[in-house]
Amino acid sequence: MPQFIIQGGIPLQGSLHIHGSKNASLPILAATLLTDESCVLHNVPDISDVHAFIDILKGVGGEVSFEQGTVHVRTEKIKNTTASPELVKHMRASILLMGPLLARHGEIELAFPGGCVLGKRSIHAHTHAFTKLGAEIIEKEFAVQARRKKLKGTHVLMSEASVTATENAVMVAVLAEGKTTIHWAAMEPHVQDLCQFLVKMGAKIEGMGTHTLVIHGVEKLHGAEYTVTSDYLEAGTLALAALLTRGEVTLQGIVPGHLDSFWQKLEEVGARFEIKGDCVTLKPLPKGEYFKPVEQLKTAVFPGFATDLQAPFSILLTQAKGKSRIFETLFEGRLNYLSELEKMGAKVDLHNPQQATIYGPTQLQGASIKSCDIRAGAAMVLAALAAQGTTHIHDIDYIDRGYEKLDECLRSLGAKIERE
């Protein structure tokens, strides 16, 4: 299996343009199934999850090409409403097929999605919304089936502010008859980006960026050309890499408002950074100074602190002078990476699966460690960049699922990182 070998202690220097958002690209790719016309998507990240999702689209009848960040896709006819169980079981985002196939074709059977190591993730929020909009749900031993005769707009109170369930509900509602109001909708940047794409396809959506979406169903959607938003999670991760190595790095092509809670936490720890337009420049602390600890790093749905940035930010807290508390509210498996971090010398108290205390500052040491999930894998890369000596990171397939050529990006900034 491939691994990263990283020589730590080298300040990053230079500038980098942020890639397109993985979490926006996948639902937007799914939404192309809502029309029989061609769609062109730009700024799509070249990562393994995107390639896997494209394979799923091809399996249901899509004609898809992907080159240099641009995807051309057309599904003139839905040929198969039972997506490949092997692909589905390895990819949680495959749940996003349900909404568009139900809306356009009338039925879908999907194996229960897998690919997530963060604990069991229920599909109840999805099926609840589908049922409210007029679908019939049949849960089998290893799969779930959804079918409809007629979709009708209604009042939908989401059972939780789930991102993918909100995206599925929206993709059904845009082709339902009449008006749909979705309350407690997720409002993450990637949900907003999907809505913007659907509007370009001819959908009528109000309230984007709020917890209440109002959707007026249309009879048919058309093809569209769209540029996917930049990846705020990649931006946050690379910003932390610059701060941890005491380098000076400018990140270009960001949407600052997507990271408001992240900037607030950086201010709290005393980090030096400057935002101008769609760029942020990270600057090193003066020699001899340390970051400040935080009273609590608590994850929450947007616009709260993103769970996907909790592990990377925690690496910065190992370099803060004092104790910092972490409270992961969304996924019970998010703190598994702390045992790997301890192998590098970090001082951690794990109180329960969702709460921990980090004590700093600690000089991390190179070690042989592994990626526990996509974001924890990125956190291990950050730890290795800040550590003394050489670190070997295994199971980097997780990292490749969510970050486009992370090793190449870091090398362009001066990091000593090799893929073996």
Give residue 270's domain range.
4-19+230-419
And the tokens for 305? 């602190």
And the tokens for 391? 């670190």
What are the φ/ψ torsions at residue 29 (nearest 5 degrees)? -60, -45
And the tokens for 315? 């690496």
Same domain? For 42 and 153 the reply is: yes
Q: How far apart are CA 241 and CA 40, in angstroms?
A: 33
Q: Is the pLDDT of residue 166 over 70?
A: yes
Same domain? For 148 and 260 the reply is: no
Same domain? For 217 and 346 the reply is: no
Task: Please write the tens of the pLDDT for every residue from 118-148.
Answer: 444 578 999 999 999 999 999 888 888 899 9
pLDDT, position 114: 60
In this prediction, residues 229-242 reach a mean pLDDT of 98
Q: How far apart are CA 266 and CA 383, in angstroms?
A: 17
Q: Which percentage of the chain shows pLDDT scores above 90?
A: 88
For residue 196, the SS3 value is helix
Same domain? For 13 and 43 the reply is: no
Last residue of a domain, one of 175, 197, 227: 227
pLDDT, position 120: 45
Q: How far apart are CA 302 and CA 161, in angstroms?
A: 10
And the tokens for 112? 């229960």
Strands in 160-318 per DSSP E:
179-183, 204-206, 212-216, 225-227, 248-252, 272-276, 279-283, 297-298
Same domain? For 82 and 186 the reply is: yes
pLDDT, position 415: 98
Last residue of a domain, one of 184, 201, 227: 227
And the tokens for 341? 């971090």
Q: How far apart are CA 53 and CA 91, in angstroms?
A: 8
Same domain? For 174 and 31 the reply is: yes
Q: How far apart are CA 299 and CA 304, in angstroms?
A: 6
In eight-state DSSP terms, residue 259 is G
Task: Please write the tens of the pLDDT for every residue from 273-319.
Answer: 999 999 999 999 999 999 999 999 999 999 999 999 999 999 999 99
Same domain? For 305 and 379 the reply is: yes
Q: What is the CATH number of the domain that holds 327?
A: 3.65.10.10
Q: How far apart are CA 64 and CA 329, in angstroms?
A: 38
Task: Please write the tens of the pLDDT for every residue from 378-408.
Answer: 999 999 999 999 999 999 999 999 999 999 9
Task: Please write the tens of the pLDDT for every residue from 60-90.
Answer: 999 999 999 999 999 999 988 777 777 777 7
Task: Please write the tens of the pLDDT for every residue from 8-40.
Answer: 999 999 999 999 999 999 999 999 999 999 999
Q: Is the pLDDT of residue 115 over 90?
A: no
The sheet carrying 297-298 orders its strands as 297-298, 322-327, 355-360, 347-352
Q: How many residues does the chain have?
A: 420
Residue with tokens 């079918």: 147
Domain count, the chain: 2
Task: Please write the tens of the pLDDT for every residue from 200-225.
Answer: 999 999 999 999 999 999 999 999 99
pLDDT, position 118: 43
For residue 316, the SS3 value is helix
Q: How far apart are CA 250 and CA 275, in angstroms?
A: 9
Same domain? For 306 and 376 the reply is: yes
What are the φ/ψ torsions at residue 86 (nearest 5 degrees)? -65, -40
Burial class (CB in 10 A: 0-12, 13-18, 19+), 81: buried
> Which of 188, 134, 130 minimizes the C-alpha distance to 159?
130
Q: List CB contacts of 408: < 8 A, sequence separation 6 or more.
A: none
Same domain? For 275 and 396 the reply is: yes
pLDDT, position 121: 56
Across the chain, what does the average pLDDT equal? 94
Q: How far apart are CA 396 and CA 384, in angstroms?
A: 13
Same domain? For 302 and 234 the reply is: yes
Q: How far apart are CA 164 and CA 102, in angstroms?
A: 15
Burial class (CB in 10 A: 0-12, 13-18, 19+), 274: exposed
Catalytic position from the list 116, 195, 279, 409? 116
Q: Is the pLDDT of residue 109 over 90?
A: no
Active site residue 39: no
Same domain? For 312 and 357 the reply is: yes
> Which of 330, 387, 414 minimizes the C-alpha distance to 16?
414
Asked if residue 394 lies in contact with residue 371, where contact means CB atoms within 8 angstroms, the answer is yes
Largest CA distance in the chain: 68
> Which of 137, 136, 212 minimizes the C-alpha distance to 170?
212
Asked if residue 192 lies in contact with residue 218, where contact means CB atoms within 8 angstroms, the answer is no
Last residue of a domain, one of 193, 227, 261: 227
Same domain? For 15 and 155 the reply is: no
